[in-house]
Structures are given as C-alpha cells and as structure tokens.
Amino acid sequence: MVVLLDIRDLRLEFSVGSETVYALRGVDLQVERGTRTAIVGESGSGKTVAALATLGLLPPTARVTGGQIWFKDRNLLELSEKELQAIRGSQICMTFQQAAAALNPLYPVGKQIADVYRRHVGGSKKEAWRKAVEVLAATGIPEPKDRARNYPFEYSGGMAQRAMIAMALVCHPQLLIADEPTSGLDVTIQVQVLDLIQDVVEQLDATLMLISHDIALVSSVCTHVMVMYAGKVMETGTVEQVLNAPANPYTMELLRCFADSEASEVPFISGRVPDLRQVWTGCGFAERCPRAFALCHQIPPPVVEVGSGHFSTCHFSLPVGRAST
Amino acid sequence: MEQGAILQVQDAVKTFVVRRRSLRQVRMTALDGVSISVRRGETVGLVGESGSGKSTLGRCVLHLSKLDQGKVIFDGQEIHSLSEHDFRALRARIQMVFQNPITSFNPMMTIGQTLLDAMRLVKDMSAQEKKQRVLTLLDQVQLDERFVRLYPYEMSGGQLQRVALARALAPRPDFVFLDEPTAALDMSIRGQIINLLLQLQRQSELSFVFVSHDLRVIRYVADRIYVMYLGEIVETGDKRQLFTAPRHPYTRSLLAGTLIGQIDRRKIRYGSALSGEVVQKEENYRGCKLIGRCRYALERCVNEPQVLEEIRPGYWVRCW
C-alpha cells in the first residue's frame, strides 16, 4: 500500500490572549492511497486543525512547533504559499462543516465553481460555466441551470454541502478531505450526502479523509478509522478492527456512548475533557479512564501494535479478540 | 381535558407570510392543525426535519408567537388567549431551552447575572438563596464556579448549551420545552446532561417536550413520540411500538437514517431513505405532504386528504 498523506509527530499551538492552547501534541497519522479514512474525535480533539494544517489554511494565531506533513514526496510544511496553492484544490480538496458559510455570499454558486475550474483546469468562461452546471447536476441539485445562478443564501444546508462537493469534483483531487459533511443536516439528507461523497470518491478514484464526531456514522462509509483525543491519536486501524475489537479504553468508552440500548440511564464518560492550556506528561485520557493506574498520569503511553495494522496508544491496550469488557 | 395532562395543544394552526407580491401574499403553513398532550412527569419526544414546525410549536406554547387558531391548555387553564401581563405569572412555570445557545443569551450579562435574572419572577426565595442556587445549578450541569463571572462570548457552544439548561431549570418550572438541547454537545458528555434531566424529572414530576432530530437520543428519553412533517403530526404513539413497528413511510425513513449510525454494519438499511429534500406545499393543498419523496405514493395520496387515524389504542397514523 502507498501512503498518500503522512503526518509525523505534528505539534501545533494557538495563542489566545496571553495563554497558549496546545491543540496538537504529536499527531501521527497515515492515510493510504485508495482508502476512505475517518478521523473521529470530540470537539477540541484536533481533527479539524490537523486537516487545516495539511492545507496550510491555519489561522494566524496558530503556530506549528514541530513535525512534518508529507503528501506524496513533499513536506507540505516547507512549501511556499505559491507552491501550496498549486496543491490546494487541484490535488487536495476540502469541504467544510458549515458549507453555506464557507461559500462566498456575494457571488452565485455557479460562478464560484466556474472560477475554481478556470483556476485549476483553465478554459473559457463559457466552458467553465457549462462545467459548473454539469457538476451541480452530477451532485444531484435539481434544476442545475437555474440553481447555478442562485446565491448561497438561497441554498439549503444540504444543497450547500452538495455544491461544495461539486466544487471538489471539478478539480479532480487525489485527496478529498470532508469536514463534518453531515452535521447540522436532517437525517434523511445525511444519508443522501454520504451516498454522494462515496460516489464522488469512487468516480474520481480519490482517497477520502472524513472528519466526524460520529464514530457510528463513519462506520458505514469508511474503510479505516483514527480516533483522536486531546491532540493525540488514540487508536488506528480498519473499521472492523477499531469498532468491533477496540483496544484503547477511550475508543471503548466512546463506543459505549453510541451503543443502542433501552437502558434507563444514558451511557457517558465521567469527568471532563482536559483543559488544553495545560501540559501533562502522561496520557490525556487518564483522568477519565476506568483503567488508569498511577503510571498513566506520569508516563506517556506507548503506541502498541495490537493486530496487523491496528495500533493503540495506551499502556494497557487490549490485544484483539479480548476486547469484550 | 385528558386526565393528568399538564399541557395540551389543540388544533394549533400557524401560518407565516413568506413573501409579498403586490397585493398577493405568499403564506407558509408552519403548523397545520397540531394537537399534542403531555402528562405530568412525562417526556414527549418531538421528531421531524427542519421546517416541520417543531420550534414554532414551542414558541407558541411559550407565548413568544401567536397562533392563528387553536388552544394551549396548561394545568387545566387556557393560556394562549391570556394577555402578556396575565401570562407573566406563569412564565416561571413554563420554560424553554432554545436551539441556538449562542444567540439566546444577552451578551452584556455574565452567566451569574443571567441565571439570577431567570429567577426574577420567583417570589419564595431570598436573594441569598438565589445566589446559592446559581452555584448549585452550575454544578449540576458540570460547570465550575468561575463561570459565574464569564460572558457568553468567552464560552463554547457546548458550555452555553448547559447554561441554557440551567437557566430553564432555575425558576423550578413544571414544564420545559427542550428544543434540540443536546445538539451542541459531545457524545461523551451528552449522556451526563440527559441523565441530569431524567433525574430532575423523577425528583420533581417535571414534564418535558424533547425536540430532537437524533432518534438515538429520543429513544432514551421519551415515553411517547410525535413525528411531524411539514406542520402535521404523521405518526404518534408509545416509543416501543414506534421504534419496533413504525407505520408511516416518513417515520420509517427517519429510522433508516438513524440505523446508519449503528455500529453493527449488518443493520445498515440504506435503501429505504427518502429521496430529495422537504418541499413546501401550497396553502390549500390537502393531500399527503410527503408526495414527491415517498416511493409508496398512490394517486389517491394526492387527491384525498389524509387523516390521523387511531389504529391501536393510543397509536395514531396519518397514512392509508
């Protein structure tokens, strides 16, 4: 298997007023070509930040303090803005969570797609417009000719998400990063958008990186999963490995929250997400972990290979097959 | 009047003017004859997509919006026709948690001031007791003392959502309309908040209407469920029956969309989802509103009005 995106020991912090928020604390993450990889985690776990760092779209308050981001044979962190621009859009595309807010409110949706097409592919204005209408139709927007002339505010959340996917479609990227494509959408629309993303990825023969807080939802779309918590990757593996035989206590606890049952108490993880302004030496999940011992608070957990290609960051990772606790 | 009901809404109708074209007004029907009832100590789940009228119903119950027709009966008393002045006496007893936590706060007030303000109409507590209650409430929603002095902009959406809950519970209400109270929360703490609500309910016979598009949450909290589509109740009944044997095509597709989220991959039933998006119908259209999205549609679905029919005791469906 060829690794398309290889993030190594990425460290990143934000300056908020006089304080520092340590958002990524040594993230290691590999996305293999042709896979559909999900990045799962709660808010603040660092999943979106890692994606933004990949595209060089970090806000000015963010500072990368260590690590590398290899895309094919280039370290994206060492590229100039100009070189990044050549990669962004044409090789790596990203769709954003609030699609309607990510589009420019002052231009018709069709024009925005046509502009992207002209920038990355070229061609006349007329040709680009035709292409825009074509991809809007391909993403299932009804009456695409009229809809192309509409402004983002005239689109529903589901349609705006489709338009963003359409924009990715004109660029033929090798890697598509979809950030929470279904959050805020109605259930019946969620299904449609997920179907669409799968179709597009297949059609482009692209690699998908799907960012979501919903571990259950990604299981129906992706081949691989990475679970993040407080700026660290906790567990990686195939969907079957991670969801059916989790080795990391955080993954197990998270899955328990999603389990479908009719118990009178709703499952949850006790305690709170750690304050990312703090620095700790041990495991970030130790405070809430049912399996934590004294050493978990002091010594950073090792990355253990518990099965073929299945890794867990924990002192007490369970080997595959004994994960039924 | 149904026995033991704390809240009843009868035949609520609400339309909005969406556009004016010279003399002609284009109206949208947000509530099209909705009736619901909530018993004392009960949690009623209200499910449906955006635009189905869930939030409008809440606003009308809370006197924040006026119904065109219909009644709202609270604790045996018709309240919708009350003047704003008379309704004030009931405000403490009927509370709402709004969907968007960020815009539902006064940006000029600290969290402590906001919570104290929510108890302004409560007469039987001293100022000291109210201050103490602010801390208790914050603790219950898992926020520590330092939040008392913070302003809304200094907090995350999830934190504000919890303050919104604390604010609704502050005046010790009998009934709370919860509009997507957990949508902004992470999975790992979502359970804590829901359990808190259920615990308070057991202690003090609180009644809830719990609005959510997440059926996984509804499944935990609700006793009975109402499913809404474009301003109409399309199916209602006991939670267990509705989850195990849904009758209406719309309910079925909602459930299919939820099963996608089940971890066991074998249970994924993709195919039964509806096609397309919600399409508003003309004001005087009387057929089934799911037309165009439903694959079981027949000719009579367009031409004949559908009625909500009781197919089992307490179980109603609006489909042939």
Any idea which of A295-304, B215-224, B271-280 has the lowest mean pLDDT? B271-280
Residue of B nearest to A253 (CA): B188
Residue B211 three-state SS: strand
Residue A132 in this model has a pLDDT that exceeds 50: yes
Q: What percent of chain B has pLDDT over 90?
A: 46
More confident residue, B19 or B267: B19
Give which of B188, B248, B255 to mutate to test A binding, by max A Cβ within 10 Å.
B188
Terminal-residue alpha carbon distance, chain A: 33
Q: What's the confidence (pLDDT) of residue A101?
A: 82
Are B257 and A262 in contact (CB < 8 Å)? no
Closest alpha carbon to A175 in A152, A207, A148, A199: A207
Q: What percent of chain A has pLDDT over 70?
A: 96
* Interchain contact A259–B (C-beta under 8 A): yes
Q: Of A156, A243, A263, which is closest to B263 when you measure between CB atoms?
A: A243
Between CA A65 and CA A15 the distance in angstroms is: 12
In this predicted model, what pLDDT tens digit does every residue of B207-241 receive, in sequence order? 999 998 778 788 888 999 999 999 999 999 999 88
> Do strands B315-317 and B232-238 pair parallel, antiparallel, or not at all (unpaired)?
antiparallel
A64 Cα distance to chain centroid = 18
In this predicted model, what pLDDT tens digit does every residue of A26-45 receive, in sequence order? 999 999 999 999 999 988 89
Closest-CA distance, B135 to chain A, in angstroms, reads 18
More confident residue, B79 or A44: B79
Between CA B219 and CA B51 the distance in angstroms is: 22
Which position has the token pair 């679970």?
A227
Residues 6+ apart with CB under 8 A from B104: B98, B164
Are B50 and A186 in contact (CB < 8 Å)? yes
* Interchain contact A19–B (C-beta under 8 A): no
In this predicted model, what pLDDT tens digit does every residue of A50-100 receive, in sequence order? 999 999 999 999 999 999 999 999 999 999 999 999 898 889 999 988 788
Q: Which residues of chain B neighbour A213 with C-beta distances below 8 Å?
A: 186-187
B21 pLDDT band, cuts 50/70/90, is: low
Structure tokens at A298: 């002091």
Are B270 and A269 in contact (CB < 8 Å)? no
Residue A155 in this model has a pLDDT that exceeds 80: yes
Q: What is the DSSP string of A85-97?
A: HHHBTTTEEEE-S
Q: Of B187, B268, B277, which is closest to A156 when you measure between CB atoms?
A: B277
Between CA B289 and CA B282 the distance in angstroms is: 10
Residue A299 in this model has a pLDDT that exceeds 90: yes
Residue of A nearest to B250 (CA): A188
In this predicted model, what pLDDT tens digit does every residue of B100-151 receive, in sequence order? 777 889 999 999 999 999 999 888 899 999 999 999 999 988 888 889 999 9
Mean pLDDT computed over every residue of chain A: 89
User: Backbone phi, then psi, for B57, in 5-degree steps?
Assistant: -60, -45
Q: What's the confidence (pLDDT) of residue B3?
A: 66
Are A273 and B186 in contact (CB < 8 Å)? yes
Are A272 and B142 in contact (CB < 8 Å)? yes
Q: Which amino acid, residue B206?
A: L
Other C-beta atoms closer than 10 Å to the C-beta of B142 total 14
* Interchain contact A188–B (C-beta under 8 A): yes
Between CA B18 and CA B16 the distance in angstroms is: 6
Q: Which residues of chain B neighbour A43 with C-beta distances below 8 Å?
A: 156, 158, 186
Residues 6+ apart with CB under 8 A from A320: A241, A245, A247, A306, A307, A310
Q: What's the confidence (pLDDT) of residue B104?
A: 87
Q: Of A215, A219, A266, which is closest to B191 when you measure between CB atoms?
A: A266
Q: What's the confidence (pLDDT) of residue B269?
A: 43
Are A191 and B257 in contact (CB < 8 Å)? yes
Count how many Cα atoms sit within 13 Å of the Cα of residue A254 in the half-sphere of its side chain: 27
A261 pLDDT band, cuts 50/70/90, is: low
Q: Of B188, B190, B253, which is closest to A188 when you measure between CB atoms?
A: B253
Closest alpha carbon to B61 in B103, B95, B84, B98: B95
Q: What's the confidence (pLDDT) of residue A158?
A: 86
Closest-CA distance, B282 to chain A, in angstroms, reads 19
Closest-CA distance, B136 to chain A, in angstroms, reads 17
Q: Which residues of chain B neighbour A253 with C-beta distances below 8 Å?
A: 188
Q: What's the confidence (pLDDT) of residue B282?
A: 73
* Interchain contact B68–A (C-beta under 8 A): no
Q: Which residues of chain B neighbour A100 with C-beta distances below 8 Å?
A: none
Q: What is the mean predicted confidence (pLDDT) over B14-36?
A: 81
Closest-CA distance, B301 to chain A, in angstroms, reads 21
Q: What is the DSSP string of B119-145?
A: TTT--SS-HHHHHHHHHHHHHHTT--G
Backbone dihedral region of B296: left (phi > 0), alpha (psi from -120 to 50 degrees) or beta?
alpha
Q: Where are the alpha helices (DSSP H) in B154-262?
A: 157-169, 187-204, 215-221, 239-244, 249-259
Closest-CA distance, A257 to chain B, in angstroms, reads 6
* Interchain contact A267–B (C-beta under 8 A): yes
In this predicted model, what pLDDT tens digit does every residue of A94-119 receive, in sequence order? 998 878 888 999 999 999 999 999 98
Give which of A268, A272, A287, A288 to mutate to test B binding, by max B Cβ within 10 Å.
A268
Q: What is the mean predicted confidence (pLDDT) over B10-26?
A: 80
Q: Of B188, B213, B257, which is closest to A257 when you measure between CB atoms?
A: B188
CA angle at residue A319 from A313 to A322, to 5 degrees? Answer: 130
Reported ipTM: 0.71
Containing A62, the helix (H) or strand (E) segment is: strand A62-71
Q: What is the mean predicted confidence (pLDDT) over A297-325?
A: 82
Are B257 and A268 in contact (CB < 8 Å)? no
Residue of B nearest to A191 (CA): B257
Residue A262 in this model has a pLDDT that exceeds 80: no
Q: What's the confidence (pLDDT) of residue A82?
A: 92
Q: Which residues of chain A neighbour B273 with C-beta distances below 8 Å?
A: 188, 191-192
Q: Which residues of chain B neighbour A159 with C-beta distances below 8 Å?
A: 277
Closest alpha carbon to B219 in A141, A267, A149: A267
Size of interface A-B (CB pairs under 8 A): 107
* Interchain contact B49–A (C-beta under 8 A): yes
- In eight-state DSSP terms, residue B149 is G
The number of residues in chain A equals 325
A260 pLDDT band, cuts 50/70/90, is: low
Distances (CA, A) of B109 to B101, B126, B143: 14, 21, 17
Give which of A242, A266, A275, A277 to mutate to test B binding, by max B Cβ within 10 Å.
A266
Residues 6+ apart with CB under 8 A from A161: A95, A99, A181, A182, A185, A193
